[in-house]
Amino acid sequence: MNGNQTTNTLEQHASRREYTVQLFEEMNKEPGTVSHAAGGLIATTALEDGVDKVVNLIKDPQVWRVEACLSDRSTAIRIADTVVTVPETIATAVRIHYEDDDGIRTLPLLGTDTSRAHRYETAVAQFLLTFTETANGASLDKGELADNLGRWHRNLTGDSISPVWIGRTLQALDVETTELAVYDRRWIYGELME
């Protein structure tokens, strides 16, 4: 990355952080709608075609946050199951809400009800299963894996998972690694974030 790219990246990050609090307040959580943020603008539309609409918004390179609100939990779960497998969630934050008797609830996209170590093991195993495959003789750069996995986890949960925890978790899952590489694995989709 050159100096201009670094400056632009930092400015984009600062812009996103500035709108984070505003987003939680302004993004519509009306059942049957999906809100998205692109730049500093927030738009809300009807969620007529469910999964396809949410996935298309996630894949839009201008969109950096998507919040869908469904009328029931089962539909929210169906959409969530698809969302966690979309590679663009590495760059796009996603929240799924649903209507319940008590109001609007947020559906956890990754497990939250166990110990931190178990949650991380589950998330890392899911990431490896979804975005990588076994390939004898191939290897993944461990830093690249940790970066992509960390951003995916943060965009789906709002919480960070550090490279240290990723390393520990890979070890707990018996994934063969060195300080620099994860052996016998490759990206299913080629380079995840080209």
Q: What tens digit of pLDDT does each residue of 42-63 get?
A: 899 999 878 999 999 999 999 9
Unique residue bearing structure tokens 């201008």: 62
Compute the residue count for the chain: 194
Burial class (CB within 10 angstroms; exposed 0-12, middle 13-18, buried 19+) of 161:
buried
pLDDT classification of 193: cutoffs 50, 70, 90: low
- Amino acid identity for residue 141 in this structure: D
CA distances from 193 to 13, 40, 59, 65, 160 (A): 17, 23, 12, 17, 19
Structural contact between residues 69 and 28, judged by C-beta atoms closer than 8 angstroms: yes
Structural contact between residues 105 and 70, judged by C-beta atoms closer than 8 angstroms: no
Tell me how far apart the alpha carbons of residues 57 and 30 are, in angstroms, rounded to a whole number. Answer: 18
Tokens standing for residue 153 = 């986890």
What does the pLDDT read at residue 160? 87
Structural contact between residues 30 and 97, judged by C-beta atoms closer than 8 angstroms: no
Q: Over the stretch 28-42, which tens digit does the pLDDT of each residue have? A: 688 999 999 998 788
In this prediction, residues 130-146 reach a mean pLDDT of 93
Q: Over the stretch 86-98, which tens digit does the pLDDT of each residue have? A: 999 999 999 999 9
Tokens standing for residue 12 = 């984009």
The closest of 91, 83, 112, 97 to 33, measured between CA atoms, is 97
pLDDT classification of 111: cutoffs 50, 70, 90: confident
Which pTM value belongs to this model? 0.83
Q: What's the mean per-residue pLDDT of the chain?
A: 86
pLDDT classification of 19: cutoffs 50, 70, 90: low
Residue 23 has pLDDT above 60, yes or no: no
Residue 144 CB coordination number (10 Å):
15
Tell me how far apart the alpha carbons of residues 104 and 119 are, in angstroms, rounded to a whole number. Answer: 24
Tell me how far apart the alpha carbons of residues 113 and 14 are, in angstroms, rounded to a whole number. Answer: 31
